[in-house]
Amino acid sequence: MPNIKSAKKRVEIGEKRNARNKAAKSELKTAIKKFEVAAAEGNRTEADGAYKVAVKKVDQAVAKGVMHKNTAAHRKSAMTLKLNKIG
């Protein structure tokens, strides 16, 4: 445990940010998983809705710095291809 006041503050800030990032990652994974399940079932209408939510969550993760923009582009591209295969 740090003794200096500024170091203690940095520890607290880090813990808060870790919690925030963990929550954002969890939401992101849940949204992507819901899309994957809908796509696997072949349910186009449900997959469309889940796709929109998942893409929005991916974009928000990039804006928050949780995910790199190229990783996000890769994920969105893969989801788009899966959605188009459902037809």
Residues 17-63: pLDDT tens digits? 999 999 999 999 999 999 999 999 999 999 999 999 999 999 999 99
Of 12, 85, 18, 80, the closest CA to residue 50 belongs to 80
Q: What is the pLDDT of residue 74?
A: 98
pLDDT at position 45: 93
> Which pLDDT belongs to residue 1?
82
Provide the domain count of the chain.
Answer: 1
- Residue 29, domain extent: 5-86
- pLDDT band of residue 87 (cuts 50, 70, 90) is confident
CATH number of the domain bearing residue 23: 1.20.58.110
Residue for token pair 């954002």: 24
Cα–Cα distance between 34 and 45 in angstroms, integer? Answer: 13
- DSSP code per residue over 31-55: HHHHHHHHHHHT-HHHHHHHHHHHH
